[in-house]
Structure 1
């Protein structure tokens, strides 16, 4: 892929702080998350002197929209000038959404153990695996024909790591994806800023 992607993960939510699975639930940013969103915008401005020169594509969930708006505002850009794309939504954890890992272990330790042994391919009940998300994101990538700023989710970043850098799926599924920072995909490399 010849394009450069400037990726921001949404800022922290209370569910992130509680280690509660959000998936596609619409959980708002907390105060820390709002500060992280502004910081991600400032980091973007350090690597992209004219951040408004590129289109922004954003997951339609509230925490990503708010992150995009706060990041844009922090660097003097009109907050609402971005495009939503459903394909950039987080993977869904299905019946697991809203629960913590401790709660899930008390409900069914074997399911949690099965996911831990193959995080990339495991499908939670009524949910989605990273492999399934990969198919959605691969379809989206086929439409990308220019450099972009993306505001999305940890799962999407992990899949992009696998698709764009060649990291094996199970390794990508365990990658730390930071809030308040910028992940720049250029060629077959990914670098945190």
Structure 2
């Protein structure tokens, strides 16, 4: 039995709110026309996605004839009262200034702390892995958000980097490969490959 498991992390296509620099954790905009995506094959055993529209639409664009497994646990961090606002809107807010200085310690008002966010992602990843254990799938993909992917890379990539050191463009993909037993015991993956973004595909 092949003990190799590949999990591809795919960041949703860009939205107009992303383009204007707005915080859109649980806000639910659509992807922009002309969004570009990494070229991934349609050969995954399972397809997982965040339940927000920008991820559902990205997944539909990538895999129009497949039915994904929707997982709300893989939403972006909740920005609370800052949802939809930009740096220019918030730069004079003292709580925002503290959060910008130390986003891992401060939390947006009415939003999630970094600890709450990462605990939720850990729950989601554990649930994903449990489904793989049952079905012995070898290759899966998760369409999710930039913050989610940065955290998963911080925790599981072979090379240790901080959360903000990871660069995850919209529409990009990163393949992580584990030995199945390493994945079950929540260890770092053995290899990482970035999938390049292709030219605009049919609008």
Residue 20 (1) aligns with residue 12 (2): no
> Per-residue displacement from partner, 1:87-133 (whole Å, max 9, x unpaired)?
11111100000100111113x0x323322222223211011133222
1:174, CA displacement in angstroms? 4.8
Identify the residue that residue 44 of structure 1 maps to in structure 2.
40
CA contact (8 A) 2:55 2:143 kept: yes
Give the TM-score taking structure 1 as reference length: 0.81
Cα offset for 1:7? 1.1
1:97 paired residue number = 83
SS in 2 for 1:162: helix
1:158–1:129 distance in 2 versus 1, CA, 3 Å: farther
Unpaired runs of 5+ in structure 1?
46-50
Candidates 61, 67, 70, aligned match of 2:58: 67
Pairs aligned (count) = 172
CA gap 1:3/1:116 in 2 versus in 1, 3 angstroms: farther
| TM-score normalized with structure 2 length | 0.77
Instruction: Tell me by how many angstroms 1:188 deviates.
Output: 4.6
More helix by share: 1
Of 73, 82, 88, the residue aligned with 2:68 is 82
Q: Which residues of structure 2 form unaligned runs of 5+?
A: 178-188, 196-203
Greater Cα offset, 151-160 or 134-143? 134-143
Distance of aligned partners of 1:184 and 1:120 in 2 relative to their CA distance in 1, 3 Å threshold: farther
CA contact (8 A) 1:119 1:173 kept: no
Structure 1 segments, 4+ long, off by >4 Å, are none
